[in-house]
Amino acid sequence: MLGLLFSVKTLMAQQNSIEKPPFLKYENSAWVDSIMKKLSPDERIAQLIMVAAYSNRTEEHKQEILKLINEQKIGGLIFFQGDPESQVKLMNDYQEASKVPLLGAIDAEWGLGMRLDNTINYPFQMALGAIADNTLLYDMGVEVARQIKRTGLHVNFAPVVDVNNNPNNPVINFRSFGEDKFNVTDKSVAYMKGMQDNNVMTTAKHFPGHGDTDTDSHFDLPQINHSLERLDTLELFPFRKLIDAGIGGIMVAHLNIPALDSTGIPSTLSKPIITDLLKNKMGFEGLIVTDAMNMKAITKTYSPGIVDKDAILAGNDLLEFTENVPRAISEIKKAIQQGLISQEEIDRRVRRVLAIKQWVGLDNYIPMATEQILTDLNTPEANLLNRKLVAASLTVLNNKNNMLPFHELDRVKFASISIGSDNETPFQKSLKLYTKVNDFQLPLKATQAQVLELKKNLEDFDYIITGIHDTSRFPRNRLELSTSVEEFVNELSEKKNTVITFFKNPYVLNKLEHIEKAPGLIVAYQDSKNTQELTAQLIFGGIGASGKLPVSIGGKFQAGDGLQIKGGLRLSYTLPEAAGMDSKVLVNGIDSLMHQAMQMKAIPGGQVLVAKDQKVVFYKAYGLQSYNDTIKVKKDDLYDLASVTKISSAMAALMKLYDEGKFDLDGTLADYLPKFKNSNKADISFRDILTHQARFRAWIPFYKEMYRKNGSYKWWTVKKDSSARYPTKISDNMFLHRNYSDKIAKKIRKSPLLEKKAYVYSDFFFILAPRVVESMVDLDFDTYLQNNFYQPLGGNTITYKPLNKFPLEEIVPTENDYYFRHLPIHGTVHDETAIMLGGVSGHAGLFANANDLAKLMQMYLNMGEYGGKRYIEEETLRNFSKTQFPDSDNKRALGFDKRRPNKNSIVNNTAPDASELSFGHTGFTGTMVWMDPEADLLYIFLSNRVSPTRDNHRLYQLNTRTQIQQVLYDAIKTASEK
């Protein structure tokens, strides 16, 4: 009895979980009744016909469609190639001409991009099959439904629910969610639900299963020779589950399946398959649609019109891509007259079509607007979803010795190879965001000589990151490598230092002999900009990986293989919405302020970087390197950081030395520089010095000390040629005496103190900072910073004396110096004292691009940790970045600037909305960096406002830097209010 009771309850639960197609409730509605009364018998038949429409064809094509609408009264259109604007205009015209609203359909298996230009291509279903989180598939369904409706359509002939268990399948393959029936089912249901919950009709295809074919039904009739038991347990499984889940439509394939119909006729025309199996045995009550009726699988044997009639007799409700509409109507009408099918049955199917039209809202049809359609389709949210899907699909098959993500960036050399590209790829560009990576390209058909040359170039590298690309539009199961390249890939696979990324169909892995031995192996499934960028981020830990292989790869890998990789190690690069910021507010706000600054000649150009939650959400270069040139600023150009050097060099070193117990905030200069013991600065603590209340003078123009009263240089200070006594290069014909740096230190030591202890910003200590640091370490200041911070962080452009490492054209010029050097300053530090110190100082001298500087600042924002490595203790950074004397007028932190309200409580050195916890610095050349732990927000602004002269104060007058900073908070606020 207990067993019987359990069985009954289980059966009842199963029955209760079965959903009906959502449109069925409208079959006998008043609207459907009213339309049925208006339709003649011929017009009723026409409602079952859907013809192909294109939005990229001539006026002649449009008139052909209008003729079918006006004369034949067809029921719907399926749109193929074109663009959204044209399609909407055409659909509006076609709807206006139609007696009954037209049902509009499209094949959008991976989104509108499958058919329409300038729209989003979501990942192919094979890639989607790798995703562990099916809610992402639901979200995709929701978004695809929104886009379909925005283009004036109502039906998506998707998803593909074929279980692809034949690697050589020429027509399904990458269009399938994979070989596992459960995974295929779960993904299909999620995608379907997302669309149907938003009133877009979905159509599972290709019934009864097109996954195990080796013939393309577009060109011939495939035959499937599996047993009924095999078909029932595998191919039919997803369809059965989707029927239970309430799918609205099913598309029937053109297949010859003897186990289901021994006559050999295509399944599209088979009553045993459609009526007996799909309708009666499987209980499907939704819309049954034919595959395209122009495919050679049926047109080789059957004539237009006749084949359409046979499809209706077999049990189909809707004919897709009918080639001869008048004849199709005529033949179906004859079949009714001959008693082969009743008018009542035709009427039931027409009611089903009309019910769908009402369910999608065509009973209250409103023409679709064409304005802003591309903006409406390509929203930030839609693009972010695309990136989420790609990221979730990335599948790591090998990660020997936990190579990925790379942790150590210093003391190793990276090379990248793009096989199948002639130019630097997005993959290679993205790798370079993390560290220095030398890139190489190798053609798919490279010769042995080309391979040998590349191998020679790779000898000095510690790690080789290889991307194997696919030049075709679709990731076909083809390997198009020359023998030399294939052998080279096999060699790489057996090396211990190789990561191979496969931007191709995963089945192709089986054609590479040793690929399964690669220490690092990533499958990205297709070759798109998103897959390339995100795979690079995975390799260096910007994002993680959770994908599972949806198909087996011969004996090398099994479906379900895939390793978990944790992300968040370093910066990732994404869209503002990923970090809770509004793209429109952020991008438009920054763009407008930067363009204003450039138009007002406040700056010739610049770089702006914004990161939130360790995600770079905005990174852009603007304008020109200088007003009198045409060289555009690039994102990897280097800027003179000016006083941002203070927190980027001296403070980094001092905080680390503080952690090590070597630097004492309560100590004095005399503790580290013995010559200061008898000076007036001997008893001043570093806490006062670093908060700029040490009574130091603001500055001394040290370069003026080199001149006599008559304006000439003092004889011992400068020579035209370099020598051991005059090694410090000021310019090409100006070399400073080797002891002059000591003279500068002496001048600081002997300088008088201000009378009152109050905040006065001074460079004095930071000029001395290298000496203080070098008194505690065995390295020179520059080398210490490179070894302990810049190189491990991957900040390869953060450097003193940039001309030693970078070409001049990659360095943005600063001022035309009429005060000291009497020449344009380009490639050397702008600050006069810093150049007199050899270009290395704690107060100025550093150069960097925004991206590399962001790594150091993100480490500060993370309270001392970045890339899986701790650089500075959290307590230290919290201490150094907080206001030291909150009860005084001095709001400075230790080395860092803070929000500084004036007497009227107005803050003008930062954005008004920056938090009390925020800290940062600005620079004389027009730079600013700011970190806000409360918002987890990083902001970097680099410019050369001193070009061509320091007398240009428009950047200050416009307050561009802090106005842009406020835009960041506005973008957060706007996003939170949506």
Domains and CATH numbers, the chain: 2-376 (3.20.20.300), 394-570 (3.40.50.1700), 588-645+796-977 (3.40.710.10)
pLDDT confidence bin for 596, thresholds 50/70/90:
very high
Going by pLDDT thresholds of 50, 70 and 90, the confidence category of residue 902 is confident
**Is the N-terminal amide bond of 519 cis, ω within 30° of 0?**
no
pLDDT of residue 472: 86
Residue 198: alpha-carbon gap to chain centroid:
26
**pLDDT-based confidence at 220, cuts 50/70/90?**
confident
The pTM of this model reads: 0.95
Task: Of 210-224, 506-520, 894-908, give the range with the top mean pLDDT.
Answer: 506-520
| 4 pLDDT more than 60 | no
253-273 pLDDT per residue, tens: 999 999 999 999 999 999 999
410-460: per-residue pLDDT in tens?
A: 999 999 999 999 999 999 999 999 999 999 999 999 999 999 999 999 999
User: Mean pLDDT over residues 870-886, rounded?
Assistant: 97
Task: Report the share of the chain in percent with pLDDT over 90.
Answer: 91
Neighbours of 475 (CB within 10 A): 24
**How large is the average pLDDT for residues 804-820?**
95
Stretch 735-759: mean pLDDT: 96
pLDDT bin (cut points 50, 70, 90) of residue 712 is confident
Mean pLDDT, the chain, rounded, equals: 95
Whole-number percent of the chain with pLDDT over 70:
98
| pLDDT over threshold 70, residue 169 | yes
- Note the pLDDT of residue 338: 97
pLDDT band at 8, cuts 50/70/90? Answer: very low
At residue 472, φ and ψ (nearest 5 deg) are -85, 165
In this structure, are residues 524 and 550 in contact, taking their beta carbons and an 8 Å threshold? no
Residue 907, pLDDT score: 77
Q: What pLDDT shows up at residue 154?
A: 98
Q: Which long-range contacts (CB under 8 A, 24 or more apart) does 552-560 make?
A: 552/179, 553/506, 553/507, 553/509, 553/510, 554/510, 556/509, 556/510, 556/515, 556/516, 557/397, 557/509, 557/516, 559/178, 559/179, 559/180, 559/183, 560/180
Write down the pLDDT at residue 705: 87
Instruction: Look at residue 3 and tell me whether its pLDDT is greater than 60.
Output: no
In the structure, what pLDDT confidence band is assigned to residue 6 with cuts at 50, 70 and 90? very low
- Which pLDDT tens digit goes with each residue over 653-675? 999 999 999 999 999 999 999 99
Q: Looking at this protein, which amino acid is placed at residue 266?
A: P
pLDDT band at 214 (very low <50, low <70, confident <90, very high): confident
Contact (Cβ atoms closer than 8 angstroms) between residue 812 and residue 640: yes
Mean pLDDT, to the nearest integer, of 902-911? Answer: 80
**What gap in Å lies between CA 386 and CA 382, rounded to an integer?**
6
For residue range 36-63, list pLDDT tens digits in order.
999 999 999 999 999 999 999 999 999 9
Position 10 pLDDT exceeds 50: no
Our CA angle for 244, 250, 252, nearest 5°, is 135
Pairing of strands 605-612, 395-399: unpaired
**Per-residue model confidence as pLDDT tens digits over 282-303:** 999 999 999 989 887 787 888 8
Position 473 confidence tier, pLDDT thresholds 50, 70, 90: confident
pLDDT digits (tens, 9 = 90+) for 548-561: 999 999 999 999 99
Which stretch, 220-234, 333-347, 697-711, has highest mean pLDDT? 333-347
Region label for 667, one of left (φ > 0), alpha (ψ between -120 and 50) or beta (otherwise): beta
Each residue's pLDDT tens digit, 489-537: 999 999 999 999 999 999 999 999 999 999 999 999 999 999 999 999 9
Long-range contacts of 184-189 (CB under 8 A, 24+ apart): 184/129, 184/238, 185/161, 185/237, 185/238, 185/241, 185/242, 186/134, 187/125, 187/128, 187/129, 187/131, 187/134, 187/137, 187/159, 188/159, 188/161, 188/238, 188/241, 188/242, 189/241, 189/242, 189/245
| Edge-to-edge order in the sheet of strand 572-573 | 572-573, 615-623, 605-612, 937-943, 927-932, 919-923
**Res 905 pLDDT > 80:** no
Question: What pLDDT is stored for residue 1 in this prediction?
Answer: 36
pLDDT(15) > 80: no
Kindly indicate the confidence band of residue 903, based on its pLDDT and cuts at 50, 70 and 90. low
